[in-house]
Structure 1
Amino acid sequence: MSAPDTAAPDAQEGPLAVHEAPHRLGPLEQIPVGEGRAFGVDGQQIAVFRVRSGSVYALSAVCPHRGGPLADGQLDERQVLCPLHLNGFELATGCSTTGESPLTAYRVEVDGTGDVLLYLHGAVRG
C-alpha cells in the first residue's frame, strides 16, 4: 500500500507563486487593426498594438530616445516604428532594432468576451 499524496494542488508552483489579476482594458474593438492605443495602467503608460494577423502586443508606450508616443507609430507584424525618429522595436520582446534602449514587453491577451487583459507582473525588458 502506497502513502497518500499530501501535496497541495499548487505545490509545483512554489510557495511564493504570484497569481496576478489582469487589468481589464476594455473591448479589443477600440484598437483598430494595424494600429496601437495608449493606456494608463497603475501609473505607467502602456501601448497595446493590434496587428493585421489579429495578434495583440503590449509595450512601454514611450520611446526611450526622445519620448515619442509609440502607440502612434507605424507597425507591421513584427515591429513598431517611433513616429518621431523611426526607431524600431520588436513587438514580441521590446528589443530595439535600431540600437536604442529596449522597452518593457507585457503579457496581453483577449478573453472570451473580447476584452483586452494586461498583466504587469512578469513583464520583461527586451
Structure 2
Amino acid sequence: MVDPTAGARAAADGLPAAATVVHAFDAGPDFRDVCVPTGAHATVLGQVCALDGQADLVVEKPVCAPADVTRVRGLLAGHGGRVVVSENYHSSRVSAAVAQAAWNAGRLSRSSRCGR
C-alpha cells in the first residue's frame, strides 16, 4: 500500500504501507496494484514502469483519464510485465478472490473484510 497517511491504519491490519512508490518496491511484492484516483494512474504507472519494466500490474478501471490515453499507451507499449485491468467495485469477483486469498494467508483482519 502506498499512502503517506495510511501507515497506522495498515499497521493495525498487519499490512505494510509505504509513503511512495519507490519505498513500496522495498517490500518486493509479486505484483503492483495501481489503485489511486484515476487522474493519478498515468503518473503512478510511469513511476512503476520506470522502476521495473517487467512488473506485473493490476490497474483499476478506468485505466486513465481521457487526456492521458496517449501517455499510458506509450508506457504500456514498452512494458514487459503482464497488465490486468480490474473493476474496483466491492462486489466484483476479483475483489472477493483477492480478499479471500489475503484472509487465507492471514494478511487481512476481520475489520478489513468489508462484511465478508
| Bigger-Rg structure (1/2) | 1
* TM superposition score category, shorter chain reference: under 0.3
Structure with the higher strand share, 1 or 2: 1
Q: TM-score, normalised by structure 1?
A: 0.26
Structure with the higher helix share, 1 or 2: 2
Q: TM-score, normalised by structure 2?
A: 0.27
